[in-house]
Every structure is written in structure tokens, then in C-alpha cells.
Structure 1
Amino acid sequence: MATKSLIERENKRLKLEQKYHWIRRSPKKEMSKAIALSEKWEIQAKLEALPRNSGPTRLHRRCFVTGRPRGNYRDFGLSGHVLREMVHECFLPGATRSSW
């Protein structure tokens, strides 16, 4: 089980990313249209002024149940061992059991 502080940190990053999504997107469009190198530097300075944790690459997918950061299945939002336990207990209809 992941500590609560790590899960809260991820939630904070998610909120920051949603807040700054459009603010971050507009300078990137300007960057592709800019011709002069000095213009690109100015636009880059605007992007660097934004909070570091507001970038979408800083987000990390976690297991919905345990908060585990590795071995997650996107379709279910669960880590592998939790998914296996739920399939064996018949909580996920349509998933086939196999000898894992």
C-alpha cells in the first residue's frame, strides 16, 4: 500500500495539470509559429515560469485500490495482483481466469 502522502502528491499534481493545461498549451502553439530565435526564447521563458508539477509528464498512473505505481492495467486502473485477486473472486465479469 502506498503511503497517503504519495497519493496526495499525485492528486496535487493532477489538479495543477488541469489548472495550467490551457495556459501551457497556448505558448506551445506560439512556439511553432515563431520564426525568430529571440521570440522562441521569450516563449520558453513563459513556459519555465509555470510550476514544474503542472506538466503532464509529471503525472503517474496509480492503482485505484492500493496506490501502487507499477504494473497497472489502463483498462481497469488496477495493479496486476489486485486484478488477479478480483478476477478469482468473480468481481470482474467477463475476465477469464487462468493459472497465472
Structure 2
Amino acid sequence: MARKSWIQREKKKQKLEQKYHLIRQSLKKEINQVSSLIEKWEIHGKLQSSPRNSAPTRLHRRCFSTGRTRAHYRDFGLSGYRLREMVHACLLPGATKSSW
């Protein structure tokens, strides 16, 4: 299980990202529409002044059962070893363990 502080930090980042999502999106549209380089720098400065953790690339996907961030499979929402355990136990329909 992941540390609770890491999970809380991730939730805080998600809230911050949702708060600044529309602002960041509108500033990016403005950058694409403006032709003057000076105006682009000004808009880019506004974009950079937003909190660092408001960027969506700072978020991590987590396994919903263990909280692990690495080896995360988006289709199932599970980490790799948890996915393998569930496939062995036949808890995931349509998924089979391959062996050769």
C-alpha cells in the first residue's frame, strides 16, 4: 500500500489541476491565436505564474487497490502484480495468462 501522505498529495494535485484547467486552456488558445512575439511572451509569463502542480503532467495514475503508481495498466486501473494475481484467480473476465 502506498503511503497515505503520497495519496493525499496526489488528491491535492488533482484539485489544483481542476481549478486551473480552464485558465491554462484559455491561455494556451491565446498563445496560438496571437501573432506578436512580445504578446506571446506576456501570455507565456501568465501561464508560468500558475502553480507548478496545476499542470496535468504532474499527476500520476494509481492502482485503486494498492495505490502503486508504477506498472499501472489503464484498461484495468490496476498495477502489474495485482493484475497478474487477479488473472490467476480468474477474477477478470476475458483476461488469460499466456504461457509458452
For these two proteins, the number of residue pairs brought into alignment is 100
Unaligned 5+ segments in structure 2 are none
> In 2, distance between residues paired with 1:71 and 1:87?
16
Question: Which whole-Å deviations, capped at 9, do the CAs of 1:49-83 have from their partners, x for residues lacking one?
Answer: 21110101101111111111111111001011101
- 1:94 aligns with 94
Other structure's SS at 1:67 match: coil
What is the TM-score with the length of structure 1 in the denominator? 0.91
Q: CA deviation at 1:90?
A: 2.0
5 Å-filtered alignment, 1:1-100, equals: 1-99=1-99
CA distance in 2 between partners of 1:18 and 1:75 (Å): 23
Over the aligned positions, Cα root-mean-square deviation in angstroms equals: 1.5
* TM-score, scaled relative to structure 2: 0.91
The CA deviation string for residues 28-67 of structure 1, in whole angstroms up to 9 with x for no partner, is: 0110111112101110111112111010110111111111
**Whole-Å separation in 2 of the counterparts to 1:61 and 1:4:** 15
Q: The residue matched to 1:76 in structure 2 has which SS?
A: coil
Identity of aligned residues (%): 69
Structure 1 unpaired stretches of 5+: none
- The alpha-carbon deviation at position 97 of structure 1 amounts to 3.0
